[in-house]
Chain A
Amino acid sequence: MDSQRATWVYAVVPASADRVPGGPAGVADGAVRLVARQELAAVVSSVDRAEVAGALGQEPPDPAWLERAARHHHEVISAFFPGLPTVPFRLGTIYHDDDRVREMLAERAGEFRAALDAVTGRVEWGVRAFPEAPPPEPAGASAGSLAGSLAGAALPGTDYLLRRKAEQSAREQARRAAAAAAQDLDQRLRLLSVAARGHPAHDGETLNMSYLVDNARADEFVRTLRSLDGPSPPLRLHLTGPWPAYSFVGLGELAR
């Protein structure tokens, strides 16, 4: 094996996959292929060691390279999905050569079989919820009435402070309503799921979750989500998926 090359691993699938569907491009335009050992196959492509080390293995990493690699990594993993159970690998898992990948498959065959079983017939759905912004108040509406209750004694500065206070209280109320609604939503979705995992919340999200759902319950899951999105919800909901079960194949799951 060329010492300048290395083997990038995307996923493990059953060896019944005898080809890569759709011919997706690999990371750094590598040709995607399968490395099989007994009933397991690793989805891999060859990469240039120096290129990967230079782009991602040094401070600072190359953001453009990472972004392209992330998209290719995901596209290759998605090529097998949802036709075959797929155990995705984290981005940047690299082996010396194909023989090392075969060794890895052999060493962890039991764990991979269990992981494939755990995701067979199931997909991951992503649900994010954002607090719905309270409707903008007409100028001086509620705060104005508060100020008015002070028998016209309010100075312009006091009026401003009262209005600010009313706005803050409305925001806090909306935040609390959103948090309660998110908790309720999460509980209902967990009832329809095999497992649930949280992601860090970004940009004011109230909820950022992944749910592992049996294909047979997918329609029910999506219907439930939509039914909770009423005419004036405290939450704005955002559904992504179906995804390969990225969030449910961590080491804990592999050991299960």
Chain B
Amino acid sequence: MTDQVSPAAQAPSPGFLSRPEPASLADVLERVLDKGVVIAGDIRVNLVDVELLTIRIRLLVASVDRAREMGIDWWQHDPMLASRARRSGVADG
């Protein structure tokens, strides 16, 4: 789902919205860990503790920064960032 915007890039085709492309892990983590519906208000302690597990996961896996601390190697899966790292700051074409 990455799309480097460049002067040479073509205008979006009519089917541009029809199908999402594969996303980089960094972009996915940013959304599935930091965004999306959070339902925490209906935890019922008297039920089996499954819903409490949701809370525990939130605490332990709280953000994309946390995932990074855990050693998830997002560079390896992110063509854009990886190529940036390889070029080490050389201006893009």
Contact = CB atoms under 8 A, between A and B. Distances in A.
A61 B51 CA distance: 18
B84 to A, nearest CB: 8
A73 B29 CA distance: 10
A191 interface: no
Interface stretch (A89-97, A137-145, A157-165): A89-97
Contact of B33 (A90, A135, A247): A90
Nearest to B63: A200
Interface in B24-73: 24-39, 42, 47-48, 50-51, 53-54, 56-58, 60-61, 63-65, 67, 70-72
B53 A6 contact: yes
Given A60-B70, A238-B80, A243 B39 contact: no
A66 B58 CA distance: 12
A133 B3 CA distance: 20
Given A61-B61, A66-B61, A239-B5, A94 B51 contact: yes
B61 A104 contact: no
A199 B30 contact: yes
Contacts of A200: 34, 63-65
B91 A223 contact: no
Interface in A103-158: 104, 107-108, 115, 123, 126, 130, 132-133, 135-136
6 contacts: A60-B60, A70-B28, A82-B18, A90-B36, A93-B37, A219-B11
Interface of A: 3, 6, 12, 49, 52-53, 56-61, 63, 66-67, 70-71, 73-74, 78, 81-82, 87-96, 100, 104, 107-108, 115, 123, 126, 130, 132-133, 135-136, 197, 199-200, 202-203, 215, 218-219, 222-223, 225-226, 229-231, 236-243, 246-247, 249-251, 254
Interface of B: 1-7, 9, 11-12, 16-18, 20, 23-39, 42, 47-48, 50-51, 53-54, 56-58, 60-61, 63-65, 67, 70-72, 80-81, 84, 89-92
